[in-house]
Amino acid sequence: MSTALPSLDSTMGGLYIGILASAALWGVTTLQTWYYYREYPKDPWHFKALVAVVFVLDTFHQILIAHTGYTYLVTHFFDPQFLGHIVWSIVTEVIPAAIVSFIVQCFFISRIWILSKKNVVVVGVVSLFVLVQLVVTIVYLAKAFTFSTYAELATIKGWSMSINGTTVASDTSIALVLCYLLRNSRTGFRRSDTLINKLILFTVNTGLLTSIDAVCSLATIAALPNTFVYISFFFAQSRLYSNSLMATLNARNHLRNDTTNGSSSISLSGIGGRNAAVTDPSFHPLGIANVAIRIDTTTEYNGETDVDNSIDRKENASFNSS
């Protein structure tokens, strides 16, 4: 007489979906890593090392969660008693995920340090959120490794929710501070301000993705505590961090091309407000090397000249017909 398996849709189903989503995002990370090394061979060694470390950790994380799924759904197929036991890899996967998130957050904090002109208070507040997130994760891991069943793990659900809550606070603060600093970096020149607006939109799109994912994980673990639905979001979090980092690094060529379209040459020094000097071609949006904007107050156009008077007054540009 066969024993019927319990419904696994809300438990192993959620875990399985999380593994598939993470695998798809790992493919995106792999593509972005390949693109980075192909397009930026002259980047500093520490950027290359950063990308390599994040990719290796991401790959290790994917292996761990794949091992978890294989153990539950293949090795112990038709063994409902085992479903209540914790597989070592599902706890261990938190380690590379936490390291990736910490590395990427520190990367963006370093951009804040540059854009804020080394403002200790601003950087300190954001760093505090990130450190609290790291400490909460470490405490959760220390407790989780002592348990062998999900019934025991449920006793520290508050720590798991705290990880997601501090993640939301950390990532949201980073994105908002970067947007604020970029907004205050506007110079009044149309081309540079257009680029800065693009950078703000780019920061929101990349920085808040992890926050939204953490909110979804937090909401599902609170509303559906006896399911693995939250794991679907938690597994994807590491991949979203690595892709936000890679997207930021790989966007530089596109941003640089945007500034060189047309016959005008654009260059801008370290952005610090509307009165920033415009003679040093060393400005790096988000503090990233090799993205420079220079604003030349004299621009030559070939052919007929048709210039809006307001732009002429704002940029003090002279236009010469050929």
- Cα–Cα distance, 223 to 40 (Å, whole number): 45
Question: How would you class 272 by CB atoms within 10 Å of its CB: exposed for 0-12, middle for 13-18, buried for 19 or more?
Answer: middle
Is a pLDDT exceeding 90 seen at residue 320?
Answer: no
Instruction: Answer for the pair 188, 274: CB distance below 8 angstroms, yes or no.
Output: yes
Give the position of tokens 């090795």: 75
How does pLDDT run across 182-199, given as a tens digit for each residue?
877 766 667 666 777 777
pLDDT surpasses 80 at 291: no
Name residue 267's beta-bridge partners.
Answer: 294
- Both tokens assigned to 124: 């300190």
Buried b (16+ CB within 10 A) or exposed e, 182-202: beebbbebebbbebbebbbeb
Please state the separation of Cα 50 from the chain's center in Å: 14
CATH topology of domain 12-254: Rhopdopsin 7-helix transmembrane proteins (1.20.1070)
pLDDT at 5: 65
> For the segment 50-103, what is each residue's pLDDT rounded down to a tens digit?
999 999 999 999 999 999 999 999 999 888 888 889 999 999 999 999 999 999
Distance CA 259, CA 51 (A): 26
Please tell me the predicted confidence (pLDDT) of residue 266. Answer: 35
Distance between CA atoms of residues 133 and 237, nearest Å: 14
Q: How far apart are CA 30 and CA 51, in angstroms?
A: 11
pLDDT at 299 over 50: no
pLDDT category at 317 given cuts 50, 70, 90 is: very low
Q: Give the single-character DSSP code of 149.
A: B
Cα 38 from Cα 235, distance rounded (Å): 28
Tokens of 284: 């790096």
Cα–Cα distance, 151 to 125 (Å, whole number): 37
Whether the CB-CB separation of 91 and 116 falls below 8 Å is answered with no
Q: How far apart are CA 122 and CA 82, in angstroms?
A: 49
Whole-number pLDDT of residue 267: 34
Mapped onto helix, strand or coil, the DSSP state of residue 57 is helix
Does pLDDT of 46 surpass 70? yes
Q: What is the pLDDT of residue 209?
A: 83
Categorize the per-residue pLDDT at 216 as very low, low, confident or very high, splitting at 50, 70 and 90.
Answer: very high
What is the reported pTM? 0.79
Q: Which residue has the tokens 């470390």?
A: 53
